[in-house]
Amino acid sequence: MDNTLQSIRYQRGSLQLLDQRKLPLETDYLNIRDATDGWSAVRDMVVRGAPAIAIAAALSVAVEVFNFDAFAGTAADAASFLENRLDYLVSSRPTAVNLSDAAIKLKQIISKAAAVAPDANSVFQAYIKAAEIMLEDDVASNKAIGSHGASFLQHQLKNSNKLSVLTHCNTGSLATAGYGTALGVIRALHAEGVLERAYCTETRPFNQGSRLTAFELVHEKIPATLIADSAAAALMKDCRVSAVIVGADRVAANGDTANKIGTYSLALCAKHHDIPFYVAAPLTSIDLSILSGQEIVIEERSPKELLHSRGGLGEQVAASGISVWNPAFDVTPANLIAGIITEKGVITKLVSNTFDVKDFVQKAENKVCPCGK
């Protein structure tokens, strides 16, 4: 067993989430007993990262129904209960599509189970098994993203002996069930001996880069340097960055991508300095129902996260009476993105310099390699 950090500890009937608000100073796991605990953990950012949010939410319901002493209802009543709990959990964080995508898929499983199940418990068991499979699949998906990304970058940047990669926010084991997306690519590059250095931004406004990504990089013994968000352009100008790799909370059909606030600035800087900018995300982060990033709902966080130290948990550090605008995410337009790294391969641009995300996803879902082989 490897020494990878775990944001989610689960065994049937028990769920613990690492309280990421306290990292890196404290390592504290919270017991999640039901969907209400799950909703609070997601909303309050005990757990964060689009893949981890979806899995933690799904498992919170699995734990709740597993520990029922009794359920007075039919199979149809059990299905209705589960669907209502999933709808409730989706309301906790609106920007990350993985959570709503997971809810839709789980509802389909619930509906099929209720149609043939003899009792409520059978529906609950089908749901629990489906949620557990999500947990297992996420780790495999992340490792595939890392492998595809590392191979692609080495091919694209073959003139470089070793690569230095800049990343933003946290996209590692703490943001997923394990291994990570953008940070998974960095891990894979390091494992293959081709990573010179990883640079991570502090990532305002919640410092998820300095508190979490830096923590993971040190834990994994990956050569890394922390920079202020505002230092990224100077770093690129000094020719210290081979590529920028970030995660995604939602990817629109045209390739526009929502990610932690500050991502758009990095993409603009990378474009100016002729540095390739990549997005690494599972297919579950792609939302074909929205045509562009203009349709993505951007969550706004509490002013306290800027007005107080420790991401809003400590003493006030800003001037009293100042107004605050604190969006959690921004949208990077597709024209600034060189490629989207997924577990099924890399979505690259057509001759028209646009992404055909829908075609890639359809081929991937039909188990046809997007490269045509």
Length of the chain: 373
Element (H, E) at 190: helix 182-191
DSSP 330: E
**Pairwise CA distance, residues 291 & 289, whole Å:** 7
CA distance to 158, 265, 268, 359, per residue, from 272 (Å): 21, 11, 6, 30
The residues facing 29 across adjacent strands are 18
Residue 95, token pair as written in the block? 């920007």
Distance from C-alpha of 232 to C-alpha of 372, rounded to nearest angstrom: 38
Q: Which of 19, 229, 249, 330 is catalytic?
A: 249
249 included as an active-site residue: yes
Nearest to 371 by CA among 360, 357, 356, 355: 360
How many CA atoms within 13 Å lie on the side-chain side of 124? 23
Nearest to 324 by CA among 205, 221, 152, 147: 205
**How many C-beta neighbours within 10 Å does residue 304 have?**
15
Cα gap 249→332, rounded to integer Å: 12
Sign of CA dihedral 24, 29, 35, 37: negative
Euclidean distance between CA atoms 311 and 83, whole angstroms: 33
Nearest to 134 by CA among 72, 53, 22: 53
If residue 240 lies in a helix (H) or strand (E), which one and from where to where?
none
- How far apart CA 298 and CA 54 sit, in angstroms, is 18
Take residue 192 and report the two structure tokens written for it.
């293959």
Query: Distance between CA 360 and CA 373 in Å, rounded?
Result: 13
How many C-beta neighbours within 10 Å does residue 248 have?
A: 29
Contact 126, 117 (CB under 8 A): yes
Catalytic positions, please? 249
